[in-house]
Every structure is written in structure tokens, then in C-alpha cells.
Amino acid sequence: MKFILLSIVAILLLASCQTKKSEYVKISGFAQGTTYNITYENSSNEYYAQAIDSILKAFDKSLSSYDSTSIISRINNDDPQIEADDWFVEVFKKSAEVNVISGGAFDITVGPVVRAWGFGNGPVAKHDSAYIDSLLQYVGMDKVKLEGRKVVKKSPGVKIDVNAIAQGYSVDVVCDFFKSKGIKNYLVEIGGEVRGKGTNAKDKFWHIGIDKPADGNMDPGNELQAIIEINNKSLATSGNYRKFFVEDGIKYSHTIDPKTGFPARNTLLSATVVCDDCMTADAYATTFMVLGVEKSMELLPKLQDIEVYFVYSNQQGEYKVFFSEGMKKMIVADK
């Protein structure tokens, strides 16, 4: 009997040792003009800070328009020798897909107009109506295509800007690295775009805060609208409450409508998207900000496995919230 009891205790202790979580490592740094914060379970006793930093630097060399030597910059400058790499190809294909589904609301050729409004890395803003109209001739996904690894543009004036999708994709790239290393529990956040897999150090699914879209709420996490629990999902939020300027009493946000060349004017204050990969979440968060609440809700039934949380204002200027049925199940706190 004693032997049986000892055996049971030994088995329980062994099971406890097998299920005990390893140390969780936190990594922070700078990439793409923003910060990143990464947490992962260090089950293999390996520290990947240097490897992740190298990955993100290489990613910038592909898709950062702020780096004059990057692949995308050289494409924009019509370098005849440059070819797209795998990262550029993936972003281009996803951008073309979302462009079609959104009816042109998402468009990576809107770069020249974004810079004209002063939201890019171009010269001083110049956004009178005549100048904006002159730039619209270069906007449209029909004006650029991939032939193998060569980007073919209809005009040198066509410039590609992937800032509305690349940051989300960089999250996926880091997650792919973790997958290759057999890491099963992690949270990757780059510039506010997030992807979580498995559980945290307390063996709970990851909780992500959605910032309240109030002008002046510049510190992420300082004032939250809601808290979302994600289980092997990605989350991206786009809003008009941080990047904007006021001119002659009119507020101009950084979300540019590709069809008009002007900042999107609608009642949607922020759009949060949850889906499997962060590149898709990032692209649709921007898309919804361009479309506004009503048109976004019309588009939602056509999209698969995409959940949303919208914050918008009514005619009285009061905050209102809309969330999809799938999102409702993820909300653990709502203000």
C-alpha cells in the first residue's frame, strides 16, 4: 500500500514538473520609428533579443520608406536593378486583395497624397485642392503590378506606401520566428499592433487594452476603452485621435481617403480588428477608418473570421460603441 501511495505521489510530482511553466522573457526596443515589446516563454533557455532586433532591422531594409536604401524606397525611386523580396511580395499581394474587397478604400499607392498632407517623410505639407487633384492621377492599385519580382509602375509618379500594413506584418514575421524555434507562448507588440499565442506566465490568455479615442490621449494604456482577451489571435487598432492637425478650425486626420485625396471625414473614431494574422488586422483597421461606421458594417458580412470593435460619435458628440458577435465573447472589460 505504501508503495502504491509513493508511486502516486511520484507521478503527481512528475506531472507537476512537466506542466510547470518556464521563465518568461521580456524584450523591448525600437523599430520602424516606433517601439516594440515582446514577451515569450523561454522553455529552451534561449535569449532572442539580438536575433529579433536583427530581423526587424532587415525588415526595415525591405519595407521602410524612411530608409532611402530600402527595397521599397529604391522601387519608388525607379531603380532598374532592384527586385522585390519575399516580404515585399507578401505585403503587395495582401494589399491588392484588401484593395479589391474594400472597393479601393485601402490603397498603398496613396503615399504621395499622405506626404502632401504632412503625415509622411516628405517635405513641408502642401495640400491645396489643386495640388491634391494633381496627385490623384498617381493613386490606384491599377497603376502598379508585380511581374515576378519586378514592380511595374505606369508612371514614375506612382509611389508605394505600406505603413498601413507593414507594421502588422512585422508582428507576424517575429511570430514566425518564434514558431520556427518551437516557442508556444508569446505576445508580440510592435507600435500597438499585437499577436498573442498560448498563455502568459499566469497561465491565462493574453489581455489587450483598447485605448479610448480621445484627442490628447497620447500615452498608450493610460485611458482604456475596453480590454480584449485574445487566444491565438492578432489585434490591430487604427484611429484619428493621435495623428492629426487642426488648420483654420478644421481637424485633419492622418487617414487619407484614396478616392478623394483628403483625410477621411466620418464619425468613426477608432477601429479595432481581431483576426488570425496581424497583417490582415492592420490593413482592415485602416480600411474601416476610411469607410466609416455604416459602410464598414456593410462590408463585414463579406469578410470571414474578422471581428471588430468600433468607437464612433453620434450627432451629439457622444461616444458610441459597436462590436461584432465574435468580439463580444472576447471583451473582459468595457467602459
Query: Burial of 100 by CB count in 10 Å (0-12 exposed, 13-18 middle, 19+ buried)?
Result: exposed
Contact 241, 213 (CB under 8 A): yes
- What is the number of other CB atoms lying within 10 angstroms of the CB of residue 127? 17
Tens digit of pLDDT at every position of the chain (335 positions)? 333 333 333 333 333 344 456 899 999 999 888 899 999 999 888 999 999 999 999 999 999 988 999 999 999 999 999 999 999 999 999 999 999 999 999 999 998 888 887 766 555 456 678 888 899 999 999 999 999 999 999 999 999 999 999 999 999 999 999 999 999 999 999 999 999 999 999 999 999 999 888 655 445 556 789 999 999 999 999 987 555 444 444 444 568 889 998 888 888 999 999 999 999 999 999 999 999 999 999 999 999 999 999 999 887 778 899 999 999 999 998 76
- Give the N- to C-terminal CA distance of the chain in Å, as an integer: 57
Give this prediction's pTM: 0.88
